[in-house]
Each structure stands twice: as structure tokens, then as C-alpha cells.
Amino acid sequence: MTDTLPKAPLDTPFGPGIDRVEGPLKVTGTAPYANEHTARRIGSPTHPLVGFMVLSTIAKGRLVSLDTTAARTSPGVRLVLTRDNAPPQNDWGPLVARDRFARSQPALHDDRIRFFGQPVALVVADTLETARAAAQTISATYEPETPAVTLDEKTAIIPPTLNGFKPTRTSIGDFRNSYAASAAKLDVTYETPHQSHAQMEPHATTALWDANGEHVTLWTSNQILNSAQKGIASTLQLKPEQVRIVGLYVGGGFGGKLPWFDDALLAAIAARMLKCPVRVAMTRQQMFTATTHRTATRQRIRIGAARDGHLRAIAHDALSHCASFDNFVEDTTTITRGLYGADAITTSALLNKLDLPRSDSMRAPGDAVGMIALECGLDEIAHTLGMDPVALRLANDTQTDPTAKRPFSSRKLAECLRTGATRFNWSARNPTPGQHREGEWLIGTGMASAMRYNLVRPSQAEIILSQTGHLTVRMAMTDPGTGTITILARIASEATGIPPDRITVTIGDTDFPPAAGSGGSFGAESAGSALYNACETLRLRLARTATTENGPLANIPLSTLSFSNASLTNGTKTIPLTQLVPRDGLTTQGSIKPGNEAKDWSQASFGAHFAEVAVSAVTGETRVRRMTGVFACGRILNARTARSQAIGGMIWGISAALFEANPVDPRSGQFTARDLANYHVASHADAPHIDATFLPEDEPVSNPLHIKGIGEVGICGAPAAIGNAIFNATGIRIRNFPITPDKLL
Ligand code: MOS
């Protein structure tokens, strides 16, 4: 029989969770963000110069000329960068790429204007004020063309794939006949608007080249540093190893920092030309056009159900758009393929290429808006059938992914629905709309399911145990405020038995082993599993050292050993790890990549949302009074930060249901909101008491940590629960989100 070391434990009791390791640095303002790097911090003899971007004021056409005379001669201005003096860059692309954030994205590259608010110049000066004042003196002459900026089925194309790898159409069963034979039928169209990113920290980069102008370091705010490294290198015709990206503290991402943007590229170009560090930060207003946004969608949803609530047919056909020069598809119908066990399910996608800024991921891309159509549609069918919406969902629960035709690795949708209904006191609800009134307020309740597919991305980790017993974790991972640093410290501590105060997690640097980064709810499991595997290797090395012939635990079987309190023990003999580490320390690596478990199983996080709203019969204003969210996402690494992710998603659900929209002016092609006064996101006053919990769940296959993504499931379904509550309150079904007061009067 082989003697093997037991696997690292995964069941340390964790109570209410732990605070963020870097929390004190953040709340005291001592954690430096990308726009706060001083000369000393970046190791430069001179303070960074400051670049300010000039943006186009048309949406489509040709940039004929730029008058930069006044700017160039302004005191304190060091450089005015335009297409006339920008260095050669690779063309945009490739259009289809597995990693679309590693593509070449040139700026100031040609004379084409592709969207309103496209950077056309960068002014670099000694101070921000000087650069901004000089930027305002630049005038542009354009040959404008009429932009196409509205969704239109007639001009839409069928994209060959969804973002390079998923099928555009899926179909099981016989939709036409199943739908025709259904006792209850729904055929409606839901619309969702453009949504703008509004992370607390705008995009910013500080760039510094080495003395030879061969290697650049970019301190920036980004979710996937290794993709940014490849993309910027490709654009500037450099090798990836010539570009180092550093981004330890990231003030929010939510998909808006999955791509890198012109702040990084233009800072790098200007710093090279000036032989001096340069930083470029976007203003809040610039973020609304010079970054990405969530696409508007138009979704036709057809549902057919038998009288007992059995779903016979679902068809979900979604129209979305991307920039004229891109091919991003909002993957709106993904959840429809897997949430309910209907006899027939078809999904399809159409795409408009529009003269708008790039659309790309925002929190739960696809699902956050796709589940509005699906889950409000379910509510409509429940109402038609006279059936309770929770019961309808329970009746169509399935342990097999209906279109992928493979089992879910774990799926506690039913438990989430039942637990949520109990916690919310759902049974007290009057199913007839418009019956509950308190003065001017109409009160109603609604619910929706939550689902988000789970994925692991390739990641590597390196750990170093020093002779003094200190463990250092190194990986090019990011923490956009989600608590990643904290859970990585916890994983390392749990796996090695080294107390957290003797562990340093160093991430946010492409000089470290490449990591998945943060996005798509894959960060914790990808980076965490790589780290766990590095810890397993370390444990084995230490255990083997201890049990060699001359070792302190000679002749003791590996199978009896465990790690705790910075020691290795078999219960009777305990050896401090420091006795097992060579003088120059012990370094091990770990990695993870998707394996057969990703092919053999469907993996997803599930949940249920319940909301109570009050709608004013006088003003049409909707107030969300309370929300309950119950989620099942495998093992939870840190209850405290997990709850923060859940309530963040649910509050964003309020935002999406009631407020968030950025309409485009069809004449000029510009977004009408460019600041947080006009782009309304839910504030504290809009967020009621939120009851968010995670059910215990055994996830057998997802990854060595037995966890599933938790970042995005909180927003999935949340807007629909609120829309459904508004219907219960008022009897008015709004299918055009957000549900603003004008639509309810
Ligand atoms: Mo994710 S789209 O990076 O919130």
C-alpha cells in the first residue's frame, strides 16, 4: 500500500468570516491607486508628467485636422500627441480571439472616428491643470457621417459564434409543436438599456520606461494583468516581456477593467517619447465614452406551459450590438439554456454593429439582462396559469442541464427557492395584483431564480517559505475590491497550517506567475486553486524532508501527518516547519486549468431572489422595501466578503430595475449621461435591508477548493424579482427596463 500524505483540509470552521487583509490601508488612504504613484514609489528621479485626453465630438466620420498650436505653445506643456506624431502601432485585432483583452488596440492610429468621445489627442504637461487647460484649446475639423446608433433587426447580422467560442444558436426538442400545444402561451419582448460603468476608481495609468527605452512598467487599474500585458505589447510592437503591468489596488472593476484602455497605451507612448514618467487618468466624464458599456438588448421571449405548470417550450431570441470595429456579443440567452427542464428550448442571437463605443462585459454579462426576460417571462406565465411563481419554478427544476445534456455537478435551486420563501415570508403574499395599499403606496412582492455558470481559467502560483517561517504568495492576480487578497491568505493558511500573520500575499504584478485575473466570477477558484496546488506541493516537500532516514520524523508514515500551527505533526511528535526549510527558503509552484470536469459536468451557482416594493400611486416612484437572496455556490471561503458580493449584486439589481440607463442621442450619437448626477445608480437611500445568505453545499468536481463563483450570481435575476414585485403591486407589467415612474403612471 502506498503511503500518501492526506490532502490539505478544506473544512476549517470560519464563523462570520474575516476582514479584508488590506482593509486598514484602504480606509486610511495609504493604499496607492494607479493615479497616486509618486516618483519615489515608482523609483523615478522625476515626478510623473500628467497627460489629459482630448475626445472626438462626432460619432462617425473623418478627422480632417487638429489645430494644436495654442496647446503646443502653452507654458508647461511637454507634448501634444496626435496621429501625426504617434508611433507605429499594430492594427486593431484580431477580430476573433479567444482572449479578446490581449488584442492589439491602437490609438491615434488613423483618421477614422468610430464613436463619439474617441480619443484624438493627448496633452502632456507638468500639471493636470496645465494639461487640461491646453487640451481645451485644441480644435478639430471633421468630415462627419451619419452614425448608426440604434438597435435594428433589419440590419442585424447573425454572429458566427458568441465571442469566439459559444454557438450562436441552440435548440433542443421541437419548439414549434411544443409551443403550439401549450395550454398557456407568452410571446413578449423585453428591452434593456445601455448601462455605463461607474467604478469608484476611474481608469488611470502611470508609465515609466527603463533608461534604454526597452522595458516599460505600467501601474494601472485592470482586472486581468496578463491580458493587458499581451495586448499593450502587441499594440506597441513589443514582446510581452518588455511590458510589466503592476496593479495591486483596484478600485472596482465589474468587467469595466477586463479590457485595458487608452490611458495605459497613451501613457506608455508619451513616457517613451518624453523619456520621463507620464500618468494619464480618465475623468469620470471620459469614462462614459472612452471605456466599455453594457449593450442595450431587445429580447423576444416565448414560453409555453401545460396547465400543471410543466414548461413545454421556451424560445429566447436576443438582439444586441457591438462597436463597428468589434464583435462582442452580449451572451443574453445562456441561462435560458440551462435553468429549467423544458421539453423544447431554442435560443438565438442577432448583432448590430453600431457607431458607438465598444460594448463589453459588465457584472454577469449576458445573464444580468437575459434573466430579466426569462424570469419576468416566467412570472407572466405563472400569472396566466394562476400558479405560484415559486411553485412554477420548483415544478421545472432539473438536475440535468437540458441543452448541454449533462448533469449539474451541484444544484440547489430548489433549496434556495424554499429557504428564500421561508425567510421572506412569501406565503403571506396576495397573488392578485393591486390589492395591498398603504395610503398612496401600492405594495407588492415578487421573486426570481438566480443562476450563473461556473468556470475555471488557467492560473499559476508560486509560494516561498522562508527559513524564518514566513510564507510569501506570488501571482499576477488582481483584487478589484472583492477580497481576493484575503481569501488567498486564508487558502494558504488553511492548507499549510501557517497562521495568517506569517503569510504575505503579493499579487498585482506580471513579474509574478500568470494568473486568471478577476472576472466572470472565476477569480477565486482559478487563482485559489493554483495556490492550493502550490501549497500541496510544499506540504509534500516538507513531509518528505521530515520523514527521510535522518529526518526528525523518520519512519513515521506520511498518512499520519498533518500541518497546523506552523508545524508538522503526527499527533505525538511535532516539528516546527522552520526546522525543515533550507537556509535560502523553499519555493514551490502550483497551477490549474480546466480539465475533464468542465466537459463532463455543467457547473453553476444558483440562488433565489425575493423583493418587496412600494409604488406610489401619486408619483409612480418605486421604493424597494426589502430583499431576500439565498444562494448555493459550493464551499464559501469567507462569509463576510461573500455576503458583500451578494448584497452588491442585489443592490445593482435595484439599480438596473429602477434607474440605470444611458440613452444615446440619435442625432449626435453620444450617450446622454456622462456623470453620476445624470447616470443614476442606486445609492444608500435606495438600498433597503438586504437579507443575503449562502446555503451549505457540497460541490464535488469544480476545483480542488470545491467552490463555485459568487461574484455575479447576486445580480442574476435580481432586477426581474423587482419587476415582478412591481407587477404584483400595481398590475402593470413593464417590459422596458428600467421601470421609471413615467412608465407606471
Ligand atoms: Mo465581471 S463582468 O468582471 O463583474
Q: Ligand 1 centroid to 363 CA: how many Å?
A: 4
Q: What's the CATH fold of domain 401-455+602-745?
A: Aldehyde Oxidoreductase; domain 4 (3.30.365)
Residue 558: closest CA among 1, 172, 5: 5
| The pLDDT of residue 473 | 98
CATH topology assigned to domain 43-146+201-292: Aldehyde Oxidoreductase; domain 4 (3.30.365)
Distance 691 CA to ligand 1 centre (A): 23
**In the chain, which residues fall in CATH 3.30.365.10?**
23-27+456-593, 43-146+201-292, 401-455+602-745
Q: Which residues pair with 447 in a beta bridge?
A: 610
Predicted confidence (pLDDT) at residue 671 exceeds the cutoff of 80: yes
C-alpha angle with apex 130: 128 to 131, nearest 5 degrees?
65
Pocket residue to mutate for ligand 1, from 363, 715, 716, most atoms within 8 A of Cβ: 363
Whether 699 shows a pLDDT value over 60: the answer reads: yes
Strand bridging mode 216-220 / 243-246? parallel
Predicted ipTM? Answer: 0.96
Active site residue 712: yes
Would you say residue 725 has pLDDT above 70? yes
- pLDDT tens for residues 55-84? 999 999 999 999 999 999 999 999 999 999
What is the pLDDT at residue 115?
98
Q: What is the C-alpha to C-alpha distance for residues 291 and 117, in angstroms, rounded to an integer?
A: 10
pLDDT at 44: 95
For the record, the C-alpha cell of 590 comes out as 502550483
Q: Provide the percentage of residues in the chain whose pLDDT is more than 90.
A: 97
The tens digit of pLDDT for each residue in 515-554 reads: 999 999 999 999 999 999 999 999 999 999 999 999 999 9
Helices (H), 441-522: 484-496
224 lines ligand 1 (CB under 6 A): no
Q: Taking the chain, what is the end-to-end CA distance rounded to the nearest angstrom?
A: 76
Scanning 101-156, the segments in alpha helix (DSSP H) are 128-135
Ligand 1 atom with the shortest distance to the CA of 254: 4
361 CA closest ligand 1 atom index? 2
Q: Residue 441: CB within 6 Å of ligand 1?
A: no
Sheet holding 574-576, edge to edge: 562-564, 567-569, 574-576
Q: How many CB atoms lie within 10 A of CB 640?
A: 16
Asked whether 345 lines ligand 1 (CB < 6 A), one says no
Per residue in 280-330, pLDDT (tens digit) is: 999 999 999 999 999 999 999 999 999 999 999 999 999 999 999 999 999
Pocket lining: 291 vs ligand 1, CB cutoff 6 Å: no
pLDDT of residue 166: 86
For residue 12, the model assigns a pLDDT of 62
Q: Using N-to-C axis directions, what is the helix angle for 367-385 and 718-730, rounded to 10°? A: 30
Q: Is 253 in the pocket of ligand 1 (CB under 6 A)?
A: yes
Query: Please, which residues bridge with residue 576 across strands?
Result: 567
- For the cut 70, the answer to whether the pLDDT of residue 14 exceeds it is no
CA distance 738 to 686: 14
Quote the DSSP letter at residue 287: H
**What pLDDT score does 9 carry?**
84
Give this prediction's pTM.
0.97
pLDDT digits (tens, 9 = 90+) for 443-452: 999 999 999 9
Among 254, 260, 482, residue to substitute to test ligand 1 (most atoms within 8 Å of Cβ): 254
Report the pLDDT value the prediction gives residue 32, as an integer from 0 to 100: 94
Catalytic residue among 22, 462, 494, 712: 712
Is there an atom of ligand 1 within 6 Å of 223 CB?
yes
Contact 712 CB / ligand 1 (< 6 Å): yes
C-alpha pair distances (Å), 569 with each of 4, 115, 497, 557, 588: 15, 64, 11, 11, 21
Cα 253 to averaged position of ligand 1 atoms, centre (Å): 7
230 in contact with ligand 1, CB cutoff 6 A? no
What's the CATH architecture for 23-27+456-593?
2-Layer Sandwich (3.30)
| Mean pLDDT along residues 186-201 | 97
Distance 221 CA to ligand 1 centre (A): 14
pLDDT tier for residue 18 given thresholds of 50, 70 and 90 = confident
User: What's residue 16's pLDDT?
Assistant: 77
CA separation for the pair 532, 494 (Å, rounded): 9
What is the CA 238 to chain-centroid distance, rounded?
28
Ligand 1 atom nearest the C-alpha of 711 is: 4
Please report the pLDDT score of residue 668 as a whole number.
Answer: 96
Average per-residue pLDDT in the chain?
Answer: 96
Instruction: Looking at the CA of residue 364, tell me the nearest atom of ligand 1.
Output: 2
DSSP-derived pairing of the beta strands 344-354 and 311-323? parallel
Number of the ligand 1 atom closest to the C-alpha atom of 256: 3
Over the stretch 130-163, which tens digit does the pLDDT of each residue have? 999 999 999 999 999 999 999 999 999 999 888 8
Amino acid residing at 159: P
Q: How confident is the model at residue 13 (pLDDT cuts 50, 70, 90)?
A: low
- The yes-or-no verdict on residue 17 having pLDDT over 90 is no
**Start-end of H helices in 120-203:** 128-135, 175-180
Task: Say if ligand 1 is within 6 A of residue 520 CB.
Answer: yes
